Structure 1
């Protein structure tokens, strides 16, 4: 490989890594603002915040198609719909978890999706069920228990929202794997944001209202950082492998655990909570490298 090709390769790889780190930061800031909405006592329900994110994403993707003067040509509708509904539920459950528990715990539990991708694949394809993989699954669940009940094994039922976000994210990513086979990225995102916005409006329109200036600022900030994170993640995966991108994205576990007490006034993780976070990060890394799953759900 020539020096010029090496330089070009590493420049693109560096761009990809920076983009994915940027997406991780954007996703984290989005969740922090969701928590601020709760602590500030604003009349913005989790459903409204998720709707704002999907509506903004749909409008941006629609403008992109208009500028390109192209029409979307979706194929494999069942996988596109599965991706859209799974992602909508994942973000909804994540935002509910943040409103009811802590930013750190919610983000850590959301990052359990690689484990559930592995579990789902056992039943869908009946492959990859090695003894080591089964053992790592049990280790991962031990980490999940430590995060769910970090203080003297006390359990908060609201924590299950965070775990549900990880499970539904896994389902959405599996659907994404198949949807990508015959659809470009722009089409997948347009359908995902559009179907998600419609689903949320039909289900929760009674919780929506015309926000005042302060509420609109928070609503737009949550949506803007969420959509920016999705765009940077999509950009980053053009230049890095799925395994490398997934591991970089998993660093949100440490970002949330370290910064949580400072930016949201949430209680710091206990020793058991930190142990659970490290276990989840370790098992995430194992399953991401083994499966090389496209980790694009937050």
Structure 2
């Protein structure tokens, strides 16, 4: 099979991306269960990161590919790791503060933040279609959260929006790093820089765990790494603008998992607001595609793998 054929299998890309959405939804469920079992957020983050460095390093040693980690931009990787830690902490924090379906829905606002940042930081021209989509999407957030009078804690909503903002900001950094370094290197250095920081906190937050708690930590680490690999694989066979539609299936998985694990279904406000947010995200992706932008445009790049 030719290289061209290998890299243009859209149906396979869609299936893989659908699997990634399911796997990452399970990871977030395990994060929530781990937090509710009494494990500190910093320790959850630590065990999410450790297997990434260990497995990537082991694989590269076995295949003689350690040279792939060479970089002349360690400072940029360090900055990306600092932002990434904040983003991951906010993302996991939102899951612990909010129901799974609502946390997942608010996370979809990443695309809206990416449009705003592309205009403010990269000075890209954003037309009425995307600005309208941004307003529509944040209108959906207001419907879901009903500030001051809803079932969603204000702190949880703010943490979720902060997580989405950080992912959008990090996507611009990853876009820049990808000009010179390959994705495997970016993933490795993020974990390598963040593990010492999280490790320094371990003496203050780590506690003895039951077998159940260790199974949760092992599961979230494994599902997190698997989800990352599936996200990357989906982009090998299809463009971001084509496969991101499957990302919104995470709302279905999160709703089902929340119902099975906590006997909790979203209220009517979420069923009204979520379609607005999803529709707005799809409008942005469609507009990026019709404008002929590359798959690494900031608004679309925000949907790329971002460990």
Q: TM-score, normalised by structure 1?
A: 0.88
Pair 260,9 (structure 1): closer, same or farther in 2 beyond 3 Å? same
Cα deviation 1:18-58 (Å, max 9, x = unaligned): 2211111111001111222344xx23112211111111111
Pair 85,214 (structure 1): closer, same or farther in 2 beyond 3 Å? same
Matched with 1:222 is: 220
Alignment of 1:157-196 (within 5 A): 157-159=154-156, 160-196=158-194
Pair 186,138 (structure 1): closer, same or farther in 2 beyond 3 Å? same
Check if 1:47 corresponds to 2:42: yes
Check if 1:32 corresponds to 2:29: yes
Deviation at 1:264, TM superposition (A): 2.9
Aligned residue pairs total 292
Deviation at 1:245, TM superposition (A): 2.4
Kept after mapping to 1: 8 A contact 2:26/2:257:
no
Deviation at 1:259, TM superposition (A): 4.0
CA distance in 2, matches of 1:205, 1:109: 33
Matched with 2:278 is: 281
From 108, 112, 123, the equivalent of 1:111 is 108
Alignment of 1:258-269 (within 5 A): 258-266=256-264, 268-269=265-266
Deviation at 1:205, TM superposition (A): 4.4
Listed as ranges, the gaps of 5+ residues in structure 1 are none
Check if 1:141 corresponds to 2:150: no
Pair 17,131 (structure 1): closer, same or farther in 2 beyond 3 Å? closer
Check if 1:87 corresponds to 2:81: no
Bigger Cα displacement from structure 2, 171-180 vs 288-297: 288-297
CA distance in 1, matches of 2:144, 2:40: 25
Matched with 1:254 is: 252
CA distance in 2, matches of 1:242, 1:11: 12
Listed as ranges, the gaps of 5+ residues in structure 2 are 289-294
Matched with 2:197 is: 199
Is the partner of 2:82 in helix, strand or coil? helix
Kept after mapping to 1: 8 A contact 2:18/2:247:
yes
Deviation at 1:116, TM superposition (A): 0.5
Pair 286,236 (structure 1): closer, same or farther in 2 beyond 3 Å? same
Check if 1:209 corresponds to 2:218: no
Kept after mapping to 2: 8 A contact 1:84/1:172:
no
CA distance in 1, matches of 2:203, 2:180: 33
Deviation at 1:145, TM superposition (A): 1.2
Deviation at 1:77, TM superposition (A): 3.4
CA distance in 1, matches of 2:165, 2:115: 11
Check if 1:297 corresponds to 2:306: yes
| Root mean square deviation, CA, Å | 2.5
CA distance in 1, matches of 2:23, 2:263: 19
Deviation at 1:102, TM superposition (A): 1.0
CA distance in 2, matches of 1:203, 1:279: 40
